[in-house]
A and B are shown apart, each in its own frame.
Chain A
């Protein structure tokens, strides 16, 4: 993360979750990235990452894991993004990145840094 920032890049995270009210404002200021709430799901849709959790999986999450997404996302919002990371150049063009429904697969930090270096180098 410090390497990414040292190249002048901002880290921005987006989720359907409502803001965490357990953090104090000082703690919120100390977080080195911006964490954004897409409360209407509009941005997830624009980025073609949005989906509604189907009833069968909703039931499994509730009954087997005690996971109620409405507690995090707000009433009626059984909605999620496909996890994704994109590196944007200053013109807002995607220069690297991908979406992967398997949330245990993430873009390698080394790849992110390499992409930012390429952008910084012209």
Chain B
């Protein structure tokens, strides 16, 4: 099953009230209109140095020296 289908089923299983759904929709609509379009295919990914979960500073170029990288930006675990 595709991830899309699984996520849709999970979302439906949460039985949210119309009020909650409306608030979530509002948040999504806001984010859609802030002009944060991200990178496009063909763009060069900006270099960075950030701490990982063990407190070690890591650089994008160090990952790239080992192979391709799947970079995921997420909002949080909440």
A residues contacting B by CB (< 8 A) are: 4, 7-17, 19-20, 23, 25, 28-29, 31, 34-39, 42-44, 46-51, 53-54, 57, 60-61, 64-65, 67, 69, 72-73, 80-99, 101-106, 108-110, 112, 116, 119-120
Contact = CB atoms under 8 A, between A and B. Distances in A.
A5 to B, nearest CB: 9
For chain B, the bracket of interface size reads 35 or more
Nearest to A67: B78
Contacts of A105: 4, 7
Contacts of B63: 10, 12, 34
Contact of B23 (A53, A64, A85): A64
Contacts, number: 215
Interface of B: 2-4, 7-8, 11, 19-20, 23, 26-32, 34, 36-48, 50-55, 58, 60-61, 63-78
A54 B30 contact: yes
Contact of B64 (A28, A82, A90, A120): A90
A60 B19 CA distance: 11
Given A9-B69, A13-B72, A90-B67, 7 more contacts: A11-B72, A23-B53, A25-B54, A34-B53, A57-B26, A83-B75, A108-B2
B45 A86 contact: yes
Q: Which of B2, B54, B73 has the most CB atoms of chain A within a 10 A radius of its CB?
A: B73
A104 B72 CA distance: 14
B54 A99 contact: no
